[in-house]
Chain A
């Protein structure tokens, strides 16, 4: 069979020297469409929210576009690598992530923001290692479940080896402290283990431990209790000012919004409007109807991930299946927590809205994961073509 046949230059750049050319049927077009839409919509919203913060300049928008570009480079790299690369090297990614999580506490490298050590500074950029950890854990657990398939389902030790590493990462993230990311990592890991077929009694026992730890942690920090109190009575509690502002923004928007750029609450009333509370401003400017469409779009993205996961399983590509499900659950959790917090469904907890919020680390994570899911579909398709 002649090599490079029908391969254009672009295809070579994106795919490498494959013996099959990439067709539209191989890529998941709805997923590509939705993620691109969310990305561009994110640029528009970050611009709208940041104008009052940067006194009318486009500094924040440009910085956001710069981050998208960097994320794109990472995604391209992820796309060029065969899935087996990630499967084989997942343990190194995990080790590297653990190393970075420790670096967070090292003076001059770690950066303190509002009393939390969540950032490290690299070449003038701030980076959140916990986001990298989310990625590393997804590929590591997925890979482990394949490599030690029988051990992990039948032996205690085989099951608790990954659980130990998950616990260690969660512990480091809790020390930052970042309860939200810890909870997200716990649930995503739990979901992968669940899909991979871990014994139910093991799962139930770690679920109970996780739940009690979570509740215990809430009640040992006064600011978390205050947030819970504010969540229970947002209109009268002094600690719920951010939540009140967020709910007010949503009220202002009504069904069809006040128009893009016209938000009142972004003018200094709602803090973190460009990151954790961007959904409130979106609803204020574009209305509840649009927000429902946005939730639908996110749900469809999750649905596509799950669908690819199922497709991979049906083709006995379990690593791809687990990574796809992990990605789907991660996106779903980010969306659920972010929008849940903005609408008062959940207590206040800062977490980004995938593809939309201002911030580079999460953008990179989402780009790379979505790319991997696309790659999974392509590889499954290719293997089918080869086997046919």
Chain B
């Protein structure tokens, strides 16, 4: 075979190979159309349909006068498209200042070359968004209208109202307790990318369900007054903290419930101390000290109404039980029952109690609400502590009468006093308007309650609570100074100052519970620290 002949065959071989591989293409196409066609169709449908959520609004929380305490407001995501961003240090500075970002960290994030889009803040409110738009920084992308929880009243309500998490679920306070009512369900829509470019079809698959509103019994104005006075008291006495509750005795509705220090729920970045999330007025446990004496007396009178007429010799100002000394501030000599409460005599209470069955006292305490969760106000509460009857020593038994050996919360203690001022009928407190009614129950006889109320009047007028007096007003109440049990002992330098008091303003009875933790200067007891807060609050409320 000559060379030319050889080349002819080679050409033929090349023709065959090249046209065979070209023939593979139509074969594959037809084969694909027959077999994998449905898979491709399914994928293209999936690819062209984009599901996206439709934001829903969580329920609004109102106070009794329909002032907004918590609501969802529109928010926007602000990000940078790095392709269009100038990386001008001035622009970076403007962004970090306006969006509360760390300048160096932002620079580092911008330096990561792999990202094309950087989210700066997912929840920016409208005003801020407009401000950032006005800066006209190139590359800024504003998108995704969603909602952000806003608390217009700020720190004065933060512990009571609580917070929501990034999923807009309540995590504490009212937000958590009433999450079922408040919560909203996002809807979603399917965006079908149309075959004609630019046009997008939206099909709403599920409408968003907004949350229901909740009305609280609290009054923003009164809450503000309470918060303001507590704050001043903490600063004046250099105390650790203070809590307060104000109740409208006509309806037993809570008008105010707050604590200081608090935090700004709208700026959570500043919230470093998680203890501040706690609503101390409902969950901080303490020994009630002398504030429990009127309640103890009511238990004693329940068994022996004649006791009211008796007199007790408290000389020499102290008494010893099982090696422990119980003392009064001074030797008061012989005191009537009324005077024992007014002077807040521990010795007197010990002597009155020592002959009684402690079970009677414990039962009364329990029926007044001690040792029980307060489910009627929905928010988290603590049950406190009441000792078990059979384990009580004599010393423990008598200390129950002057407020040691049991633990309570401010809301529990205030609720117990409300029973006395409601003529002996226990009426559950209310925090939520239109919430289902809990059962009322008579705990003390009318007569008994009246007697205690009179004693409480005397305790202010002639006793330790005189600083709570507001001119022209009848004030009823009791101070308390409880030593703090710390490091396995009661410390003489650490006290809680308490005052529970009631007065009438224009036919409306207000019951106040005040608790100041460990005041260090300008007085230390309930009479010096807590009682003056009462009169200040009442004076201010009067002016409303």
Contact = CB atoms under 8 A, between A and B. Distances in A.
Contacts of B18: 302, 306, 328-329, 332
Given A265-B44, A336-B21, A336-B22, A325 B29 contact: no
Nearest to A309: B11
Contact of B47 (A265, A298, A303): A265
Contact of B25 (A194, A255, A295, A310): A295
Contacts of A303: 19
Contact of A313 (B7, B30, B193): B7
Interface in B6-31: 6-7, 10-11, 13-15, 18-19, 21-22, 24-26, 28-30
B33 A254 contact: yes
Given A194-B10, A263-B195, A288 B29 contact: yes
Contacts of B48: 264, 267, 269
Nearest to B19: A299
Interface in B476-526: none
Given A298-B22, A299-B19, A325-B14, A56 B197 contact: yes
Interface string A251-263: 1101100100111
B198 interface: yes
A269 B43 CA distance: 11
A250 interface: yes
A255 B399 CA distance: 95
Contact of A340 (B14, B25, B39, B195): B25
Interface string B164-200: 0000000000000000000000000000010111100
B214 to A, nearest CB: 44
B15 A306 contact: yes
Nearest to B8: A313
B25 A250 contact: no
Interface in B25-80: 25-26, 28-30, 32-33, 36-41, 43-44, 47-48
A181 interface: no
A254 B41 CA distance: 10
Given A195-B11, A251-B41, A245 B47 contact: yes
B22 A299 contact: yes
Nearest to B200: A267
B195 A258 contact: yes
A52 interface: yes
How big is chain B's contact interface, by range?
Answer: 35 or more
B411 to A, nearest CB: 56
A264 B192 CA distance: 10
B22 A302 contact: yes
Contacts of A264: 44, 48, 193, 195
Contacts of B196: 261-262
Interface in A100-134: none
Contacts of A262: 195-196
Given A251-B44, A262-B195, A329 B14 contact: yes
B32 A343 contact: yes
Interface in A30-58: 51-52, 56
B274 interface: no
A273 interface: no
Given A288-B30, A343-B29, A51 B197 contact: yes
A82 interface: no
B43 A235 contact: yes
A162 interface: no
A250 B22 CA distance: 18
B465 to A, nearest CB: 75
A195 B14 contact: yes
Contacts of A139: none
B32 A247 contact: yes
Nearest to A263: B195
Interface in A253-310: 254-255, 258, 261-265, 267, 269, 283, 288, 291-292, 295-296, 298-299, 302-303, 306, 309-310
Given A235-B39, A267-B197, 17 more contacts: A194-B10, A195-B7, A195-B10, A197-B10, A247-B43, A248-B44, A250-B32, A251-B43, A254-B33, A264-B48, A264-B193, A292-B26, A292-B30, A298-B22, A299-B19, A310-B11, A340-B28
Interface of A: 51-52, 56, 191, 194-195, 197, 235, 244-245, 247-252, 254-255, 258, 261-265, 267, 269, 283, 288, 291-292, 295-296, 298-299, 302-303, 306, 309-310, 313, 325, 328-329, 332, 335-336, 339-340, 343-345
Lowest 10 CB-CB distances: which A-B pairs, in order?
A251-B40, A248-B44, A52-B197, A262-B195, A248-B40, A345-B28, A248-B43, A247-B40, A251-B41, A332-B18
